[in-house]
Amino acid sequence: MTSPATAGSLIRVLAALRGVRDPELDEPITSLGFVTSATVSSEGAAQVRLRLPTYFCAPNFAFLMVADAYDAVAALPGVRRTEVVLEDHFASDAINGGVAARAGFARSFDGEAVGELHELRADFLRKAIMAGTDQVCRPLLDAGADPAALLELTLGEVPPSAALERLRQRRAELGLPSADDAPLVIDPATGARVSAEAAPLHLRRARTTRISLESNGSICRGMLRRRYDVPGLGEEEP
Amino acid sequence: MYEKNGEKYFVVDGHMHYWNAAPDNWVPGAEQYAKGWIECFHAYQGLGPPATHWTLEHFQKYSEDDLMKDVFEDGHVDVAVFQPTYLKEWYKEGFNTTERNAEMGEHHPGKFVYNTRFDPRDGDEGLEHLRRNVDRYGSTGVKLYTAEWNAGSRGYKLTDPAAYRFLEAAQALGIKNIHVHKGPTIWPLDKDAFDVADVDHAATDFPELNFIVEHVGLPRIEDFCFMATQEPNVYAGLAVVIGGLMHARPRFFAKVMGELLFWVGEDKMLFGSDYAIWEPKWQVEGFVDWEMPGGEEFTDYPRLTAEGKKKILGLNAAKLYGIEVPAEYQLKDGGTPGAQEVLAGQPEEHAVSGA
């Protein structure tokens, strides 16, 4: 039987998992349907089971999701022991064992990796920022804004939206300017304002990046649905 | 061939397979990978129309008669290009090898193009095998699966020195077309296995070879587009784009097509059914019927006419493979199918719309 205290812990675990993203798709693992189950015992032992759209999803991204889920849950007050299990994946054993042992990626895949995944994560944050730039700029362009005028805008001058908040967060994560006075359109590699000359191509690329990420997400959702009949915890269509 | 509304389409299926993934072909000790691979493929089939779904048992191993009916008799295909994937660490006789494809194809002269493959990690023996296959099957194309597992290695890049040695040898043997298929693993595993930067380098260094990036670099469509637009000899293989999106996610299909038409262009996009993942029939018919939707999201994408569809469905691949196309299927205006054109990625030469 679930006690009120356990139920409270479970809600906190789910909230924590909502903060864990698939770095490739830049979406929470919950809404993607990747969380099979989550439980917390009265002794504070949390167990999370994760699943992915295919048996062969890239092991580096899978590792990041399992490790991030572990960190997010283990940091919660009242959680004394954490176990995160990735199911039905070719590298489940290496990933689950490596994360449980806090071994890092290179040690978990001994001889098959030379480094950790920080650079990979940063590369995909830059993609998320490009995609996010389109998500924020497109409504402005559709409303008649001149592309050149977008370059003059700061983050603080853009009407508030979930997309804007997300863009700010991604930029902050990468250590890029994210305060109200920061330019809306920047080069995610350098943080510099994009020049008028470079802007059309930059915005075009932002759009392509967004379509790529969203299309991948739609394929992943379709594959997950073929693989598992039951929706994941917190799963939702975008 | 396919005819609709008075338009005649010559169809080249640029990417298809004849595999055996039944349990009798699984390598002992690697059963989980063999099973995982084919089940993953089978799930992809689920993205097509329900009436075209197969049972897993049938999907694991289909017959020559099945293939001839699905691809040629029902599927409107005139010529099909076999793209082998060996995976011998998981499948005893290989998943689908040049040998298996050719043995079957020999019963049907003129219907198939036999691409072969190489793996740069196979060294001198691999080179010899390549030479033998080119000799025996007249291969002018190779399929490279960069995520293939080989003796403890989980994959390779086209820029590896060994890969360049093979590309040089392949070119000397008369190979023209390099189909690159990225997968989820590579060495080292901490890098992005789907990254297409290596194709960019190889395409620059081997300007006489054509590089067809299968499933348009999915899941890295954006990197593929930005690269392909700057490399005249890089082409988009549409396997998975049509099969995986046209039915299941039509709005994303339209957007991805719009992006490809913008960055890569209709002269450099090649239809591939990925049979037996998906049957060609519904893909060819649906693609001929397809139009860019109306609505603000789609307004500034290039439109695709019947002439453009003719190129994508067959004329581009026919050009790359030197397949003869009867006069009635040629473009009315001549056109430039298969042309090595550089498109939008050169902002100084092309106006790029910011909207």
Residue A72 has which token pair? 């997010």
Give the predicted TM-score (pTM) of the model.
Answer: 0.95
Q: Which residue has the higher pLDDT, B346 or A172?
A: A172
Residue A9 pLDDT level (bands cut at 50, 70, 90) = confident
Contact predicate B304/B122, CB 8 Å: no
Number of domains into which chain A is organized: 2
**Nearest residue to A174 via CA among A135, A126, A130, A127:** A126
Q: Does A129 score more than 90 pLDDT?
A: yes
Q: Does B352 score more than 80 pLDDT?
A: no
pLDDT for res A4: 67
CB contact under 8 A, B189 and A219: no
Domain identity same for A127 and A200: yes
**Residue A137 belongs to what domain range?**
118-219
| A15-66 pLDDT tens trace | 999 999 999 999 999 999 999 999 999 999 999 999 999 999 999 999 999 9
pLDDT for res A6: 76
Residue A2 pLDDT level (bands cut at 50, 70, 90) = low
CB contact under 8 A, B226 and A208: yes
Residues of A in contact with B226 (CB under 8 A): 205, 208
- The stretch A201-205 carries a mean pLDDT of 96
Domain range annotation of chain B: 2-329
In a domain, A227, yes or no: no
Flag whether residue B349 sits within 8 Å of chain A, measured between CB atoms.
no
Helix residue spans in A28-101 (DSSP H): 59-74, 92-100
Which one of A25, A56, A114 makes the best mutation probe of the B interface by having the most chain B beta carbons within 10 Å? A56
**Nearest residue to B268 via CA among B78, B2, B14, B76:** B14
Residues of A in contact with B252 (CB under 8 A): 211, 214-215, 218
| A208-227 pLDDT tens trace | 999 999 999 999 999 999 99
Average pLDDT across chain A, whole number: 95
Domain identity same for A98 and A11: yes
| B28-37 pLDDT tens trace | 999 999 999 9
Domain identity same for A95 and A191: no
Q: Does A8 score more than 90 pLDDT?
A: no
Domain identity same for A98 and A16: yes
Flag whether residue A106 sits within 8 Å of chain B, measured between CB atoms.
yes
Interhelix angle for A118-142 vs A162-173, to 10°? 150
What's A49's domain CATH number? 3.30.300.130
**Nearest residue to B145 via CA among B59, B92, B205, B83:** B83
In a domain, A231, yes or no: no
Across the interface, of B36, B248, B255, the residue whose CB is closest to A56 is B36
Residue B340 pLDDT level (bands cut at 50, 70, 90) = confident
| B260-309 pLDDT tens trace | 999 999 999 999 999 999 999 999 999 999 999 999 899 999 999 999 99
Contact predicate B47/B243, CB 8 Å: yes
pLDDT for res B334: 79
In a domain, A204, yes or no: yes
In the block, residue with structure tokens 């390598």: B27
User: If DSSP codes are grouped into helix, strand and coil, which group holds residue A224?
Assistant: helix
In a domain, A237, yes or no: no
B179 phi and psi, to 5 degrees?
A: -90, 120
**Nearest residue to A21 via CA among A55, A43, A45, A50:** A50
Domain identity same for A68 and A145: no
In a domain, A179, yes or no: yes
- The stretch B8-18 carries a mean pLDDT of 98
Q: Does A183 score more than 60 pLDDT?
A: yes
Flag whether residue A141 sits within 8 Å of chain B, measured between CB atoms.
yes
Give the integer Cα–Cα distance in Å for B63 and B203: 37
In a domain, A225, yes or no: no
Given CA atoms A187, A192, A197, A200 in this order, what sign does their dihedral have?
positive
- The stretch B108-123 carries a mean pLDDT of 98
In a domain, A238, yes or no: no
Degrees, nearest 5: CA angle B202-B207-B209 = 80
Q: Does B194 score more than 70 pLDDT?
A: yes
Flag whether residue B32 sits within 8 Å of chain A, measured between CB atoms.
yes
Domain identity same for A173 and A74: no
CB contact under 8 A, A90 and B33: yes
Across the interface, of A59, A199, A223, the residue whose CB is closest to B185 is A59
Percent of chain B with pLDDT over 90: 92
Residue of A nearest to B154 (CA): A112
Cis peptide before B109 (omega within 30 of 0): no
pLDDT for res B313: 98
pLDDT for res B354: 38
Flag whether residue A117 sits within 8 Å of chain B, measured between CB atoms.
yes
In a domain, A234, yes or no: no
- The superfamily CATH assigns to domain B2-329 is Metal-dependent hydrolases (3.20.20.140)
Contact predicate A123/B192, CB 8 Å: yes
| A137-156 pLDDT tens trace | 999 998 999 888 999 999 99
Domain identity same for A108 and A10: yes
Domain identity same for A75 and A21: yes
Domain identity same for A180 and A191: yes
Domain identity same for A66 and A94: yes
| A72-122 pLDDT tens trace | 999 999 999 999 999 999 999 999 999 999 999 999 999 999 999 999 999
**Nearest residue to A91 via CA among A114, A109, A65, A117:** A109
Hey, which bits of chain B come out as E strands?
A: 2-4, 7-9, 12-16, 79-82, 112-114, 141-145, 177-181, 210-213, 234-237, 269-270
Report the gap between the CA of A148 and the closest CA in chain B (Å): 9
Residue B51 pLDDT level (bands cut at 50, 70, 90) = very high
Kindly give, in sequence order, each residue whose CB lies less than 8 Å from that of residue A189, ignoring residues fewer than 6 positions away.
Answer: A126
CB contact under 8 A, B249 and A219: yes
pLDDT for res B335: 84
Domain identity same for A19 and A108: yes
In the block, residue with structure tokens 């008369």: B174
CB contact under 8 A, B221 and A208: yes
Give the integer Cα–Cα distance in Å for A53 and A88: 10
Domain identity same for A61 and A41: yes
Strand partners, B150: B153
